[in-house]
Amino acid sequence: MQGNMKSIICTLLCGITTGAFAQEDLDKLIDLGNPKNEKVTATFKSGSLINLKTTETIHRNELDFKVDHRFGDIAGSAGGSKNFFGLDNSSDIRIGLDYGLLDNLTIGIARAKGATEIRQLYEANLKYRFLEQTVDNSVPVSIAFFGSTTVSAMEASEDKNSAANFDDFSDRMSYVSQLIIARKFSSGISFALVPTYLHRNFTAFNEQNNMFAIGIGGRAKVSNRIAVVADYFLPFRQSSKKQYRENITGQRYYNALGVGLEMDTGGHIFHLNFTNATAMQESQFISETISSWGKGQFRWGFSIARRFSFDKKPKE
Amino acid sequence: MKKITIYSVFLFLLLSLEGFAQQSSSFISKGASISFFSSAMLEDIEAKSNLAGSALDIKTGDILFRVKNTSFQFDKKLMQEHFNENYMESDKYPISEFKGKIENSGQLTKDGNYTAKVSGTLQIHGVTKAYATMATFIVKNSIITAAASFDVRLADHKITIPSVVGKKIAEVVKVKINATYKH
C-alpha cells in the first residue's frame, strides 16, 4: 500500500517537473551570444558640437560635406536691429570636406574665412579614434586624437606688430592637437573632455605661440531626433602676456562658450547654435575670442552636414 | 529504508529519461538568418542578420525567434546607425522576438517536406502584434530547415518615418527567415 502511494507520488512528480520544463526550455535554448566587448555607438551625432570636436568619425568610404556659419553680434554695440541682430554680418564661414579612410580614421580639408587678424585659412586635418567605449564598461570611454595644420593665404601685413607680418611661409602656419575623451552615460546623455594644445608659428608681438586649453562639452537628447548641445573652452594663458595684449589692444580675452540645438533629419544633421566665439578654427577661437556673452556679443550660428556613402556592396 | 532508496533511484532515472525525451523534441537553430527588404520610390534598402537565435519544440509546436536589432547589417553603415538610433531605438528595445505555434508540428518527426501554418506574436520596437504565415519545413536526418516570409507594416509597431525620408523607406517591409535546426 505504502509502495503504491509512493509510486503514484513519484509519477505525479515526474509529470509536473517535465511539464514545467517544456515551458521554459525554448527560452533557455536561445543564446544570442555574449554582449561583452560590444561597442557603444553614436556617442555623438556629428564630428563636432558647436566649437568642440567629438570622438565621432565618419564611416569608411563616406564623404561628409559641412558648411558652418557664424553671424554677427546679436546684441551689444555692434548688434541690434541696425544689422538685423547680426544676420547682416558673417563673422566666420567654414566649408569642409571629410572622408572616412577607415571607420575610425577620418581625414579632411577645409576653407575658413578666419575671424582674427589672420584670414583666408586652409586647413588639413585628421581624426583617429583609437579607443571605443564598450557596453559592458570594460572600456569606460572613447578616445580620439584630432590634429590639424592651418595655413593662411592672406597678403602679408607691412605692420611689424601685426600677427600677419609674415616673413616666411612657415609664419603662416598654426597647429592644433586635441585628445578627445568621451563617454556616453546613457542613451541620451554624452560628455566629452578635450585637452588641447595650440601652436602658432608666428603671432602678434608678445602673444603666446603655445597654449594649452581644456574643452568640455555635452549632448542631451530631448527627443528622438533633437538634442541640446553645449561646450566651453578654458585656455591657460600666461598672465603677463595676457595683460600686455589686453593693455595694448584695449580688448579683453574671453572664453568660448556655445549652446545649441542639434537636429537629425535622417541624412542631414542640422545645428543651430549661439556662441560668443567669432572664429571656428581652434587656433583662433580658443586663443583670441574677444567678444563676451555678458556684453551681448554672441551670435547665431548654424552648421549643415550631409553625408554621402560610397560603400555599396555588390548584390548577392 | 531500502525501499525509499530504490524509489529515489527509480524517480531519478525516470526524471532523467523524461528529461532526455523532452530534449529530443526540441530543436535549436544558432545563427538563423533574418533579412528584410524595403522598396521605396527613391531607394531600396536591405539588411540581414545571421545572428538570430531560434528554438522549436515539435511535440508542443512552440517556436521562438529572437534577434538583436544591432546585429542587422546594412550596405551603408550610416543606414545601420539610423536604423538603430532613429527607428528601432535599439537602446530601449534591443531585441525583436517572435513567439508562436506550428500547426501539426507532430508531422515533423519524420523526414520529408512540409508546409505548415505558423501563428503567434511578434514584438518589434516594444509593440506586440499577432502574425500568421505559411512556413516550409524540410526534415532530414533529424535536421529541420525552415523558411518563411511575411510583411511588417512599420506603423503597426509605432516606427514612424519622417516625411523628408518618406520616399526612401517603404511603409511595409518584407521579412524573410531561414533557419536550420538541430538537437
In contact, B56 and B48? CB cutoff 8 Å: no
Contact A18 B18 (CB under 8 A): yes
DSSP H or E run through A273: strand A268-275
pLDDT in tens, A50-59: 999 999 999 9
Domain ranges across chain B: 26-181
Residue with cell 555607438: A41
**What CATH number has the domain bearing residue A83?**
2.40.160.40
Residue A20 domain-assigned?
no
What percent of chain B is helix, strand and coil (3-state, nearest 5)?
25, 50, 20
Q: Report whether pLDDT(A316) > 50.
A: no
pLDDT at A20: 44
Contact B76 A309 (CB under 8 A): yes
pLDDT at A196: 98
What SS3 class is residue B71? Answer: helix
pLDDT in tens, B102-129: 998 888 888 999 999 999 999 999 999 9
CB within 8 Å of B77: residues ≥ 6 apart: A59, A60, A62, A103, A309, A311
What SS3 class is residue A295? Answer: helix
| Three-point CA angle B25, B29, B34, nearest 5° | 135
Interface test with B, best of A7, A8, A25 (most B CBs within 10 A): A25
The pLDDT of A223-239, averaged and rounded, is: 93
Residue A298 domain-assigned?
yes
pLDDT in tens, A72-90: 999 988 888 988 999 998 9
Residue A1 domain-assigned?
no
Residue A27 domain-assigned?
no
Paired sense of beta strands A121-131 and A90-102, if any:
unpaired
Give the one of B11, B62, B67 whose C-beta lies nearest to A13's C-beta.
B11
The pLDDT of A274-287, averaged and rounded, is: 95
DSSP H or E run through A9: helix A2-29
Contact B81 A42 (CB under 8 A): yes
What SS3 class is residue A263? Answer: strand
pLDDT at A200: 96
What percentage of chain A reaches a pLDDT higher than 90? 69
Residue A26 domain-assigned?
no
The structural architecture, per CATH, of the domain B26-181 is: Beta Barrel (2.40)
Give bridge partners of residue A110 from the DSSP assignment: A96, A123
Give bridge partners of residue A259 from the DSSP assignment: A230, A274
ipTM of model? 0.71
Q: How many CA atoms lie within 13 A of B109 on its CB side?
A: 9
Residue A316 domain-assigned?
no
Total residue count of chain B as it appears in this document = 183
Provide the 8-state DSSP code for B165: G
Taking the model in full, what pTM does it have? 0.81
The pLDDT of A279-298, averaged and rounded, is: 94
Which residues in chain A have their CB less than 8 angstroms from residue B8's CB? none
Residue A5 domain-assigned?
no
> What is the count of structural domains for chain A?
1
Which residues in chain A have their CB less than 8 angstroms from residue B19's CB? 18, 21
Q: How confident is the model at residue B6 (pLDDT cuts 50, 70, 90)?
A: low
Distances (CA, A) of A67 to A92, A93, A301, B27, B38: 11, 8, 11, 56, 32
Domain that residue A296 falls in: 34-309
Q: Specify the range with the lowest mean pLDDT, choosing from A20-24, A51-55, A133-137, B20-24.
A: A20-24
Higher pLDDT, A259 or A162: A259
C-alpha cell at B154: 512599420
CB within 8 Å of A107: residues ≥ 6 apart: A98, A99, A101, A124, A125, A126, A127
Distance CA A73, CA A280 (A): 15
